[in-house]
A and B are shown apart, each in its own frame.
Chain A
Amino acid sequence: MNVQDVMRVLEAELVCGEENLDLEVHNACGSDMMSDVLAFVKDQAVLLTGLVNIQVVRTADMMDMVCIVFVRGKEPDADMIALAKRRGMVVLKTKHRMFTACGLLWENGLRGGGTDERAKMDI
């Protein structure tokens, strides 16, 4: 699926990053704990989170993620949007809660990472 599909499946609203909606994504991660994202994620393209501060965007940037989805109607602020734009990231917001949003994406073919894949990580 691509970012456009993520947006459709989550009935999400585009905040920024229109030019990158065609990017292919295969894996996602849902977390409000950024250190967990930094610890367990590898090659995941989509970050779903209910946390709203600039470190969410920085974390996604460090992980080379292409899309951030804010769940449960959370609103990113202007600084976060500006940084995401500079990094070419797509930012979406959905009214779905974290569990539902992750479930919908899983049902539509996105897969996760985390502890199952931790053992396979080579770094």
Chain B
Amino acid sequence: MNGLKWTYEVDGSDFTRAGEASSNVKKNLRKLGVSPEVIRKVSIALYEGEINMVIHANGGKIDVEMTPEKIDMVLADTGKGIPDIEQAMQEGWSTAPDEVRSLGFGAGMGLPNMKKYSDEMRIESTVGVGTTVYMTVYIK
């Protein structure tokens, strides 16, 4: 793999900065002439993931790699982990605190949206250790 790579540290202490990495990826993809549909899928999937990292895991690290065929995203945190991934994937299931809902998130749509907009998604999580989400969007 000799793709373009971008790495971001996501600050978990500041909700107002959540989305900066996704926004930067979007800008990079646009400069590279990637199709608007692919850009939107990547941006939304990554943005929801970034919000999740801030809400649930006190931040983390995002790695994005782009090749002519696809865009791979890896979102790794050292948060509290997900005890039941299947349950967490259900629309409406949320463990977010109420104050997050008042900010327009935390309605249990994050992971379902990430799955919806990525072509492939895999979650590895260990309670007390952290969560890593792997997402891929294919460039058609």
Q: Nearest Cβ in chain B — how far from A78, in angstroms?
A: 12
Main secondary structure of the interface of A (DSSP, over half): helix
Does A1 sit at the interface, judged by CB under 8 A?
no
B47 to chain A: closest residue by CB: A62
Interface size class of A (residues with CB under 8 A): 20 to 34
Q: Report chain A residues within 8 Å CB of B113.
A: 35, 38-39
Distance, CA A38 to CA B43, complexed state (A): 10
Instruction: Tally the A-B contacts, defined by beta carbons under 8 Å.
Output: 70
A31 to chain B, nearest CB (A): 8
Contact indicator per residue, chain B 1-43, by CB within 8 Å of chain A (1) or not (0): 0000000000000011011001100100000000011001101
Give the contacts of A106-123 with B (CB-CB under 8 A): 123
Contact with B along A62-76 (1 / 0, CB 8 A): 111000000000000
Q: Is the CB of A33 within 8 A of B104?
A: yes
Q: Is A61 an interface residue (CB 8 A)?
A: yes
Q: Among A55, A64, A79, which residue has the most Cβ atoms of chain B within 10 A?
A: A55
B112's nearest neighbour on chain A, judged by CB, is: A39
Residues from chain A with Cβ under 8 Å of B109 in the complex: 33, 35-36, 38-39
User: Using Cβ atoms and an 8 Å threshold, which residues of chain B touch A63?
Assistant: 40, 44
For A41, give the chain B residue with the smallest CB separation.
B44
> Bound state CA distance, A12 and B51, in angstroms?
31
- Asked if B47 and A79 sit within 8 Å, CB to CB, the answer is no
Contacting pair B36 A53 (CB below 8 A) = no
Contacts of B106 in A (CB 8 A): 35
| A55 engages B103 (CB within 8 Å) | yes
Q: Residue A58 at the B interface, CB < 8 A?
A: yes
Give Cα A34 to B103, complex, Å.
8
Q: Who on chain A is nearest to B38 by CB?
A: A123
A59 within 8 A of B: yes
Whether the Cβ atoms of A58 and B19 lie closer than 8 Å is yes
Contact B26 A62 (CB under 8 A): yes
Report A's interface with B, CB cutoff 8 A. 32-36, 38-39, 51, 53-56, 58-59, 61-64, 79, 123
Chain B residues near A (Cβ < 8 Å): 15-16, 18-19, 22-23, 26, 36-37, 40-41, 43-44, 47-48, 51, 103-107, 109-110, 112-113, 116-117
